[in-house]
Amino acid sequence: MNRARRARIVATLGPASRAPGMVKALAQAGVDVFRLNFSHGSHEDHAAALKAVRGAEAALQRPLGVLADLQGPKLRLGRFKDVEISVKPGHTMRFDLDPTPGDETRVQMPHPEIFKALRTGMLLLLDDGRVRLRVNERADDWADVTVESGTKLSDRKGVAVPEAVIPVSALTPKDREDLAFALRMGVDWVALSFVQKPEDMAELKRIVNGQAACLAKIEKPAALADLEAILDYCDGVMVARGDLGVELDPEDVPVAQKQIVRAARNRGVPVIVATQMLESMTSAPAPTRAEATDVANAVYEGADALMLSAETASGDYPLESVGMMSRIIERVERDPMWPSLMGAEHAGMDEHDVDALVGAAGMAASAPSTGCLVVFTTLGGTARRMARERPLKPILVLTPNPNTARRLALVWGLEPRLGEQPDSLEAVTDDAVNSAVKYGLAEPGQRILILAGTPFGAPGAANLLRLAHAPAAASKGRKKS
């Protein structure tokens, strides 16, 4: 079950895909990490889905990650007397806190925190940007607005304020309940929606307390403006183009994607590109050419993973969507131009000893005689640093920790596998050589580059780079030390 590609695939589970047989088939087709979307489904649904993932993992003998995606705060209008009203450019109305059903002149916006953040002249976006309004006047409990574009408004439509930071926690009471449940289940990653500032991620990290890796979904202009500080608290980041595309002009979204991917790669933080990648495959057996190009461009950028949402959660062709995404990735990675285009985003080296070691391993990996790299890790830090270099040879990661193996399933180019904790230099060499041959990552006589840390078994950065060669026939077990 080695992947014939470096970029990873995240697939969302839902009614069309959470049955155990389908989960196993999706993993066989190429899924590396399964997303549980807590905006939909019950806790029982998600528990059953996670159980199915763990069953597929055992059957395929390959670590599979599980990502719990929290819903985040949903800011919405109140209700209308007639469910829907007509609007047109120039139409004026008031938003207030009065719960009385609204009409063409006023409607409730039950979020005092929005009124506090508004300023005269600010833009408001309703219903995923279908209605655009401008603030004329405001107070702490009302705002008068003018419609700039749009035709209708109906009950409970979403509200976005792209030009302001809303003073609301990214973790709602529902999110806190969902997070506690997800951690009890044993998910590997937790994604926080609508991150606006570093404090949002800091709060998540405090609550999770190392029980899972934490990922920020970048979908607010405020998060883009404070991206470097947010990344200080991130184990991973997602280019969440759905809501980002609501609050940014369409022409700005590709630039924002580049900015996020570049910043994440520079930090060695795994980055997922998400939303509408193969959207037409929700109801069609093949994507549009534009969608195929969109997937390919993310691979050329060097993104760690690409995500499928409705395509696998509720679509008619979940298996075909995964297969198509996998084939597009593989095709790009066979392009002779791919390494140089991806390398354009290469990060500079840090001044830490482990980075010098990883840099040396990356250079040595470019030799034709090198079969693969083998990284021994407890918590995954050295493996992530190695992936940051984007070497073109396979990276086998051996860890005694199943949680580490599952988290690393998201990271570019890594083939995580469970293995015993070696206790000597001889054991490190034997395990690396035997495992490389066992998993088909090195041919007889090829060089194997080994990264490990001493003292053996103690968490910490790698401080050892060793060369070995795959023998004509690997030994069955470990040599005596």
Q: Which residue among 217, 265, 388, 407 is the active-site one?
A: 217
Q: Which residue among 51, 76, 267, 331 is the active-site one?
A: 76
Whole-number Å distance between alpha carbons of 94 and 104: 9
For the chain, the helix, strand and coil percentages under 3-state DSSP, each to the nearest 5: 35, 20, 40
Q: Are strands 271-274 and 236-240 parallel, antiparallel or unpaired?
A: parallel
Q: Any catalytic annotation for residue 370?
A: no
Token digits for 394? 């396979």
Token digits for 239? 């280019």
Q: Any catalytic annotation for residue 116?
A: no
Of the candidates 331, 388, 379, 330, which has an alpha carbon nearest to the alpha carbon of residue 358?
388
Q: Which residue among 8, 24, 35, 138 is the active-site one?
A: 35
Whole-number Å distance between alpha carbons of 412 and 236: 12
Q: Any catalytic annotation for residue 76?
A: yes
Residue type, 297: N
Q: Which residue among 62, 220, 275, 388 is the active-site one?
A: 275
Token digits for 64? 């599979």
Of the candidates 39, 72, 68, which has an alpha carbon nearest to the alpha carbon of residue 170?
72
Cis preceding-peptide flag for 455 (omega within 30 of 0): yes
Q: Any catalytic annotation for residue 174?
A: no
Residues 6 or more apart whose CB falls under 8 angstroms from that of 198 comprise 226, 229, 230, 232, 233
Residue type, 214: C
Token digits for 457? 């078994």
Whole-number Å distance between alpha carbons of 465 and 71: 43
Residues serving a catalytic function are 35, 76, 217, 275
